[in-house]
């Protein structure tokens, strides 16, 4: 069992598609809706033409958009320096998504020297506004002592914030801390609860761990049928150790019980939270 690594992921697509609604009160002058429409149909040159003047006048959504285009190389050569410049302009106006993206650039060393302290500073700004991705990132930084002093209680706090919003990796990592007793009192029942929430979304690492919990009566009653089911699902996702564990558990089941476990796996569907 181990902490799942946070994802490196820029935020851009959903933000851009809904930015007209989110920033309707901030947009001054024509061109923003036209820019969004052009972007959605892949006409990046027209989108840039509409967005750049707005960005230069301080429009936060347009600034964010220019960061995206330079980061992805859409309509312009890919340029992390320019991406970072526009993301920072939007971030300094308080846009959480831009603050998160600035944090990613510092963490990965894109357009700026890699700097975990700066990454953590920007992640915190975004996380405090309730954005899930930087909450997950901060939890990982505190768990590893990367850019911040190692502090499992803080890791628990930030993982919990993301987990309560339905983030499966955060749910898994919070479960790990309960399982290990790091930052919280060791509690197998609470660990099983959070593993289940992540496993039900299809997060394979949580499925593996929940199978282990059922096989070993950790936080849940021992149940080889459910252990088989969760190992089977994780195995189907490509985890070879889960296949081995499924086969070990299978030796403890009757043919009827195996059939039930297989039916449960066959009928299982992931829950969509976010």
pLDDT tens digits in sequence order for the chain, 274 residues long: 655 544 445 554 434 433 433 444 454 456 888 888 898 899 999 999 999 999 999 999 999 999 999 999 999 999 999 999 999 999 999 999 999 999 999 999 999 999 999 999 999 999 999 999 999 999 999 999 999 999 999 999 999 999 999 999 999 999 999 999 999 999 999 999 999 999 999 999 999 999 999 999 999 999 999 999 999 999 999 999 999 999 999 999 999 999 999 999 999 999 876 5
Helices 204-216/224-236 angle, 10° precision: 160
| Structure tokens that stand for 274 in this block | 């976010």
* Pairwise CA distance, residues 51 & 173, whole Å: 39
| Structure tokens that stand for 101 in this block | 């993206």
**Closest Cα partner for 32 from 50, 56, 9, 8?**
50
Residues in the chain: 274
Q: Note the Cα 152 to chain centre separation in Å.
A: 19
- Is the distance from CB of 218 to CB of 186 less than 8 angstroms? no
């Amino acid at each position: 069992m181990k902490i799942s690594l946070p994802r490196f992921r820029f935020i851009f697509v959903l933000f851009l598609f809904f930015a007209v609604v989110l920033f309707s009160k901030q947009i001054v002058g024509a061109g923003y809706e036209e820019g969004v429409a052009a972007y959605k149909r892949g006409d990046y040159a027209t989108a840039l033409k509409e967005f750049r003047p707005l960005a230069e006048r301080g429009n936060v959504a347009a600034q964010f958009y220019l960061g995206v285009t330079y980061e992805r190389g859409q309509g312009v050569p890919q340029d992390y320096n320019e991406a970072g410049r526009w993301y920072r302009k939007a971030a300094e106006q308080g846009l959480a998504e831009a603050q998160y993206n600035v944090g990613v650039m510092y963490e990965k060393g894109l357009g700026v020297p890699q700097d975990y302290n700066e990454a953590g500073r920007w992640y915190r700004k975004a996380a405090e506004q309730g954005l899930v991705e930087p909450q997950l990132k901060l939890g990982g930084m505190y768990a590893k002592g990367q850019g911040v002093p190692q502090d499992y209680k803080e890791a628990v706090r930030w993982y919990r914030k993301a987990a309560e919003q339905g983030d499966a990796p955060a749910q898994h990592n919070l479960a790990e801390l309960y399982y290990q007793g790091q930052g919280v009192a060791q509690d197998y029942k609470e660990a099983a609860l959070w593993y289940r929430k992540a496993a039900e979304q299809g997060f394979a690492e949580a499925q593996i761990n929940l199978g282990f919990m059922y096989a070993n009566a950790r936080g849940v009653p021992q149940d080889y049928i459910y252990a088989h089911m969760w190992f089977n699902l994780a195995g189907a996702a490509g985890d070879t150790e889960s296949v081995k564990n499924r086969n070990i558990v299978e030796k403890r089941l009757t043919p009827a019980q195996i059939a039930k476990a297989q039916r449960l796996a066959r009928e299982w569907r992931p829950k969509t939270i976010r």
